[in-house]
Amino acid sequence: MTNNKKAFEEACKFIAGGVNSPVRAFKAVGQDPLFINSGKGAFIKDIEGRSYIDFVQSWGPLLFGHCDKEIARATKKALKKGASFGAPTLLETELARLVLAEFPHLDKLRFVSSGTEATMSAIRLARGFTKREKIIKFEGCYHGHSDSLLVSAGSGAATFNTPSSLGVLQSTAQNTLVAKYNDITSVKELFNAHNDIACVIIEPVAGNMGLVPAKAEFLAQLAKICKENNAVLIFDEVMSGFRASLQGSFGINGIKADIVTFGKVIGGGLPAAAFGARAEIMDLLSPLGGVYQAGTLSGNPLAMAAGIASIKKAKKDKNLYLKLGKMAFRLSSGLKEAAATANVPLQVCSVGSMFGFFFNEKEVLNYQDAIKSDTKAFAKFHKAMLARGVYLACSQFESGFICAKMDDKLIDKVINAAFESFKEL
Ligand SMILES: Cc1ncc(COP(=O)(O)O)c(C=O)c1O
């Protein structure tokens, strides 16, 4: 099979929608997805043999690009010893120690296999800890696809304009209250109206309605309100952890959450995620406490080995995040300049190695601002960039990712492609 179109037709016969995650389907940009054959560093190659600069990086995990030598070596070494045991290995403790060292306010972790499991388990734990039922999430924030969090979710849900999902019970959704991102009044109103709020979950650097960072002042007030109301604050750093900075959002503004969820980078491209909190909360988990949580492949040795190599590498290079941040800034500023020359209004943003842009005349501070963006212009731009060998996320409501294998020369090439692409709109 050497043709993307045919491969997609074939996949559609056997896989629902031809893809195993809806965001991959390229629907928002009116195209068929590319089938990827291989990746190396900053590049991916599709089955037609075309090469692309990859700004998706598996939706975030690949901080060091494709086939990083050290991560691959560590994973192979683990595989030789056995793919899975369903019993503790030393690797789990090592990765937990490496992650926790960056978050002094967290005592313990528990590993799971996906970000969805991490946030779902964090919510259960918060409910178990507070013995309350309601949760607050923010419009446009995506925390995976567990029922109670599939309400006003961003990402794929925003792309398809279905803010929640069929199959999520009304009785479940009723317990999920939705506040407005970067708007503390909307949070205060919910706390005033309800006295049984177990937790507030937020992406402190939202990457699922496009890239929209929370203001530090807003997060600080959020932490204060949670404390005053004895509600648990959950920072979902599945995307921003070890991406926005080595210490995620915490490394940017020092604001501490009670529970933090991780994913993506901590698995180095293999399926691993985690949630962590102070001991008082974590010790409520089974087998110590009454909050049940489990997983056959949780802490899988291959994923742990890839994660250890990835996090060790991230810690070793003291300039890594500075370099990545400079490249993300260079790219987003270049995109803005290129758009301006073609009279295209564009809002750009970068946080650490994450970047985003909206075809929008006004600054984007929340989901309502984001959805006012011009999705048709984005689709045309996406197609034009793809034709020039630049693989961007196939929706405007996603974040882009810089990897360590990129450099200024490559970024400038992409900016030049953007100059040409904007002219075509
Ligand atoms: C912030 C955030 N939380 C949770 C998730 C869910 O993670 P997973 O896709 O591994 O289930 C994602 C996925 O993109 C995410 O970005």
If you write DSSP's letter for every residue of 13-77 in order, what string do you get? HHSGGGSSSGGGG-GGGTSPPPPEEEEEBTEEEETTS-EEEESSGGGTT-TT-BT-HHHHHHHHH
Output the pLDDT for position 368.
95
Tens digits of per-residue pLDDT, 81-101?
Answer: 999 999 999 999 999 999 999
pTM above 0.75, yes or no: yes
* The pLDDT of residue 160 is above 90: no
Question: Do 348 and 315 contact (CB within 8 A), yes or no?
Answer: no
| pLDDT of 163 above 80 | no
Q: Which atom of ligand 1 is nearest to the CA of 261?
A: 3
Query: Is the pLDDT at 288 greater than 90, yes or no?
Result: yes
Structural tokens at position 126: 């918060």
100 phi, psi to nearest 5 deg: -65, -30
Q: How confident is the model at residue 162, as a pLDDT?
A: 42
pLDDT above 70 as % of the chain: 97
Which H or E run contains 354? Answer: strand 354-358
Residue 311 has pLDDT above 50, yes or no: yes
Residue 119 CB less than 6 A away from ligand 1? yes
pLDDT bucket at 1, cuts 50 / 70 / 90 = low
Q: Tell me the C-alpha distance between 397 and 400, whole Å.
A: 10
Q: Whose CA is nearest to atom 3 of ligand 1?
A: 143
Q: What is the mean pLDDT of residues 38-51?
A: 98
pLDDT averaged over every residue in the chain = 96
Q: State residue 156's pLDDT score.
A: 54
The answer to whether residue 301 scores a pLDDT higher than 60 is yes
Cα separation, 71 vs 270, in Å, equals 10
Burial of residue 409 (number of CB atoms within 10 Å: 0-12, 13-18, 19+): exposed
> Has residue 158 got a pLDDT over 90?
no
Question: Tokens standing for 391?
Answer: 């693989």
Q: Which residues are catalytic?
A: 142, 236, 264
pLDDT of residue 152: 72
102 CB within 6 A, ligand 1:
no
Question: Can you tell me which residue has the tokens 């970047």?
Answer: 355
Is there an atom of ligand 1 within 6 Å of 398 CB? Answer: no
Q: Ligand 1 centroid vs 342 CA: distance in angstroms?
A: 35
**pLDDT class for 171, splitting at 50, 70, 90?**
confident
Average pLDDT estimate for 206-234: 98
Question: Which residue from 349, 336, 356, 360 is spatially nearest to 422, judged by alpha carbons?
Answer: 336
